[in-house]
Amino acid sequence: MSSAAGGSDFAAAMMGLHERLDALLFAHQRALLDRDLPRARVTLAAYGEALAAHVADEEEHVLPRYRALGGDATDAPTKLFLGEHGNLRAFVADCAQRLVALGERVDDRALLEVLDREATLKNLLLHHDLRERNLLYPFLAARLPAAEQAAILAARRWAGGRG
């Protein structure tokens, strides 16, 4: 165990999930590029489920510990992460609705609107990723006992599988 080296295994394990999420979103956008709406819907649903599970894990297991250790006194208080999670969930739900509204015909304008919407989602994801990568997880890795870090990893409902 190398958790004595600042808990970087913990941060890497959590941040690795963002790469898995990005891969799932990429699979969805490839389906959009192929104008394969059934596959686009299924892959977006898979992405949304994984994202929701990851966010729920953070809200249940990560953010309460962050708050207890003083995270709210930093430039990235708990409510900021919660607000971003809410926005991410709302954007994915909005994109899913747009895909349903497309029906079976792939209209150029409607397809571009979905891709534009997803570009905004990706921008939100980028900022959220950086905030967790640079602030949340290093903060916890430096302060949370190794056993607590291991407990979080073990308690996750989504650890990167499926998709």
| Contact of 122 with 25, CB cutoff 8 Å | yes
Instruction: Decide: is 57 part of the binding site for Fe ion (CB under 5 A).
Output: no
Decide: 95 and 118 in contact? Cβ < 8 Å: yes
Distance (Å, whole) CA 59 – CA 21: 17
The minimum distance between CB 17 and Fe ion, in angstroms, equals: 6
- Part in contact with Fe ion (CB under 5 A); list of ranges 2-10, 65-73, 117-125, 127-135: 127-135
Kindly report the number of other CB atoms within 10 A of residue 41's CB atom.
16
Taking CB under 5 A as the binding criterion, the range among 36-44, 55-63, 98-106, 109-117 that sits at the site for Fe ion is 55-63
- R_g (Cα) of the chain, nearest Å: 17
> Least distance from C-beta 70 to Fe ion, angstroms?
19
Q: Residue 118 or 132: which CB sits closer to Fe ion? A: 132
Q: Please, what is the minimum distance in Å from the beta carbon of residue 126 to Fe ion?
A: 12
The single residue listed with the structure tokens 């059934």 is: 38
Q: Which of 21, 28, 58, 66 binds Fe ion (CB under 5 A)?
A: 58
